Amino acid sequence: MESARNRLVINLLLVATFVVILNETLMAVAIPRLMHDLNVTADAVQWLTTAFLLTMSVVIPVTGFLLQRMNTRPIFILAMSLFSLGTLIATLAPDLQALVVARIIQASGTAIMMPLLMTTAMTLAPAETRGKTMGFITTVISVAPAIGPTLSGIILNYLSWRWMFALVLPISIGALLLGMRRMQNVTTPHSAALDGLSVFLSAFAFGGIVYGFSSIGAPAAPGTLPAGLWSGIGVVFLALFVLRQLALQKSGYPLLDLRTFGSRNFTVSVLLMASMMMALFGTIILLPIYLQNVLGLNSLQTGLLLLPGGLLMGLLGPHVGRLYDKVGPIRLLVPGVIIVSIVLWAMTLLGPRTRVPYILAGHVVMSIGFALLFTPLFTVSLSSVKASLYAHGSAVIGTIQQAAGAAGVALFVALMSARAARLAASGLAPVEALAGGVRAGFVCGASISIFAVACVVFMRRPKAVQSGA
């Protein structure tokens, strides 16, 4: 009876998470269309993705508090209600500013859902099958982004961009109503305090760093701070946030319990995940811009080209999870990170005359590499901390993951725009200049992948961890 209840809860969370993550990549293929319809630049429209990821990185730390204070069902209802409200506003948004606000509200719901799924799965799944369970989670967080660009391409080929949200809205409301009827409480809430100062510090820390990244290569507007200074402010606030959490660990309830970093496996996993998320989200943004504005593909062709790799990554998730349960993380992580690095370096050679089949093959191979990475990383990171720290571990992973994704999007687009502008100013044709900018973005991603290769050397198979505090 209990196992049936656990499966029901995890399956409901998987369905809801699929819906909210599907929304995350709908924007990727739509960026060129939005630039045209809303009459905005690439630097401006990329905030639809950056603001989404940044909001998640600010809200996710609070989920550690929510998962301790509230039961499963009310947290689920809160998350899906926020997401549905944001989707409704996006459907009706009159301009870019309103659309960014809608994305922020959507992100608030998504930010709650992801740690809720991971924490619940780690709590309910037996240790010997956690790899398999995390494999299904990886499938959801891989297939949903894979379908997103294709669905977006089909919609944009025939309808207005507003339909990207109008079609998701009834699905999100349906998931909310299903959860209200069938979701069951599987956790035991206990007393915890929310530290307002920690929330304030985390917002300015991640906000400053990501805003600084987004402003790289662009001249500072009159009366505003340069990019480097914004990043510096973010780093200062991040240091204050860390100090605050260390103090609260001794005298109260930290927003994020940093004792999770006492595990070397957890620390290395987070660093590796951060570097790979920067590369993944940067690639998700850059490839559609390159395919449409350099090679001349339409939105539907772009979505279909990106579909096979994403679907393959998702379908491999459960198989990689079963392999993890048998062979551990090292035999999966090493080839995975090497494959991703090789493809990223190959993408630094993209140009106006690169053949589309080569790009398709590279994207499929890269997706295989990511499939070998994410299931082991999610599993080994949380399996290396005590059960009492699962909620905080999930929140830390989610925060770093989304902040890194936001930084990757901002950094890749900023480098692309800056390099393309310099090449255009030198007299190069617009298409050639943009291709040069895209190559600059992928050089950044390829360089980051070298750091990831170095990180994987320090990974070990997690030992049994006591469940006590």
HEC string for 109-155: HHHHHHHHHHHHHHHHCCHHHHHHHHHHHHHHHHHHHHHHHHHHHHH
* Domain count within the chain: 2
In the DSSP assignment, the letter for residue 384 is: T
Q: Which of 306, 461, 287, 305 is nearest to 384 (CA)?
A: 461
Per-residue pLDDT reduced to its tens digit, 277-321 = 888 878 878 888 889 889 988 877 887 888 888 788 878 877 887
The Cα–Cα gap between 215 and 415 comes to 10
Tokens of 313: 């990554």
φ, ψ for residue 297 (rounded to 5)?
Answer: -75, 155
Regarding whether 288 and 170 lie in a shared domain, the answer is: yes
144 confidence band (pLDDT: 50, 70, 90): confident
**CATH assignment of the domain containing 22:** 1.20.1250.20
pLDDT beyond 50 at 465: no
Compute CA 438 distance to the chain's CA centroid, rounded to the nearest angstrom. 21
Pick 355 or 159 by higher pLDDT: 355
Regarding whether 225 and 176 lie in a shared domain, the answer is: no
Pick 274 or 221 by higher pLDDT: 274
97, 290, 312, 104: CA torsion to nearest 10 = -10
Regarding whether 209 and 106 lie in a shared domain, the answer is: no
CB 172 within 8 A of CB 83: yes
Regarding whether 100 and 237 lie in a shared domain, the answer is: no
* Domain annotation covers residue 236: yes
Regarding whether 268 and 249 lie in a shared domain, the answer is: no
55 confidence band (pLDDT: 50, 70, 90): confident
Domain boundary among 254, 274, 301: 254
Predicted confidence at residue 344, as pLDDT, reads 92
Predicted confidence at residue 224, as pLDDT, reads 61
Tokens of 402: 């989304």
466 confidence band (pLDDT: 50, 70, 90): very low
Per-residue pLDDT reduced to its tens digit, 439-457 = 998 998 899 889 888 888 8
The Cα–Cα gap between 165 and 346 comes to 35
Domain boundary among 236, 254, 272: 254
The Cα–Cα gap between 19 and 295 comes to 31
Spell out the residues 6+ positions from residue 367 whose beta carbon is closer than 8 angstroms to its own. Answer: 142, 309, 310, 312, 313
Which segment of 36-45, 88-97, 218-227, 419-428 scores lowest on mean pLDDT?
218-227
Regarding whether 308 and 284 lie in a shared domain, the answer is: yes
φ, ψ for residue 222 (rounded to 5)?
Answer: -55, 130
* Domain annotation covers residue 355: yes
* Domain annotation covers residue 265: yes
Predicted confidence at residue 43, as pLDDT, reads 67
CB 353 within 8 A of CB 404: no
* Domain annotation covers residue 131: yes
Predicted confidence at residue 468, as pLDDT, reads 44
Tell me the mean pLDDT in the region 27-37. Answer: 75
Burial (CB count <10 Å: 0-12, 13-18, 19+), residue 63: buried
At 81, which amino acid appears? Answer: S
* Domain annotation covers residue 461: no
Q: Which of 347, 307, 330, 318 is nearest to 442 (CA)?
A: 347
CB 71 within 8 A of CB 90: no
The Cα–Cα gap between 281 and 276 comes to 9
Tokens of 57: 């990185």
Pick 35 or 163 by higher pLDDT: 163
Q: Which of 322, 336, 341, 401 is nearest to 373 (CA)?
A: 336
Predicted confidence at residue 223, as pLDDT, reads 57
Buried b (16+ CB within 10 A) or exposed e, 336-355: bbbbbbbbbbbbbebeeebe
Tell me the mean pLDDT in the region 13-23. Answer: 79
Regarding whether 242 and 290 lie in a shared domain, the answer is: no
Spell out the residues 6+ positions from residue 167 whose beta carbon is closer than 8 angstroms to its own. Answer: 151, 155
End-to-end CA distance of the chain: 29
* Domain annotation covers residue 464: no
pLDDT beyond 60 at 220: no
Regarding whether 266 and 333 lie in a shared domain, the answer is: yes
Predicted confidence at residue 156, as pLDDT, reads 80
The Cα–Cα gap between 125 and 398 comes to 20
Compute CA 464 distance to the chain's CA centroid, rounded to the nearest angstrom. 29
Domain boundary among 220, 236, 254: 254
Regarding whether 319 and 250 lie in a shared domain, the answer is: no
Regarding whether 341 and 365 lie in a shared domain, the answer is: yes
Task: For the chain, give the mean pLDDT.
Answer: 80
At 11, which amino acid appears? Answer: N
pLDDT beyond 50 at 387: yes
Regarding whether 204 and 161 lie in a shared domain, the answer is: no
CB 350 within 8 A of CB 289: no
CB 250 within 8 A of CB 374: no
5 confidence band (pLDDT: 50, 70, 90): low
Percent of the chain with pLDDT over 90: 12
Regarding whether 113 and 237 lie in a shared domain, the answer is: no
CA dist 347 → 87, 274, 351, 456 (Å)? 34, 20, 9, 22
Name the residue range of residue 240's domain: 195-254
pLDDT beyond 80 at 109: yes
469 confidence band (pLDDT: 50, 70, 90): very low
The Cα–Cα gap between 142 and 290 comes to 22
CB 375 within 8 A of CB 321: yes
Pick 469 or 383 by higher pLDDT: 383
Tokens of 398: 């989610």
* Domain annotation covers residue 462: no
